[in-house]
């Protein structure tokens, strides 16, 4: 339970916009590696 709460707090702490940008960057990196 403690670990789950920590992850929840981490996501709440992050700015939604920043998190979205981060995910987009990770997806681009993953796509580039596949090709």
Q: What is the pLDDT of residues 1-35, one digit of tens each?
A: 567 777 777 776 777 788 788 889 988 888 888 76
What's CA 26's distance to the chain center, in Å?
8
Distance separating alpha carbons of residues 17 and 10, to the nearest angstrom: 14
In this prediction, residue 1 carries a pLDDT of 58
pLDDT at 35: 63
pTM of the entire predicted model:
0.41
Q: Contact, 19 vs 11, CB < 8 A? A: yes
Residue 5: the pLDDT is: 77
Residue 2 is predicted with a pLDDT of 66
Q: Count the helices and strands in the chain (H runs, E runs).
A: 2, 0
33 vs 35: CA distance, rounded Å = 6
């Amino acid at each position: 339970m403690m670990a789950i709460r920590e992850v929840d707090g981490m996501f709440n702490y992050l700015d939604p916009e920043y998190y979205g940008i981060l995910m987009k960057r990770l997806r681009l990196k993953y796509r580039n590696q596949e090709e």
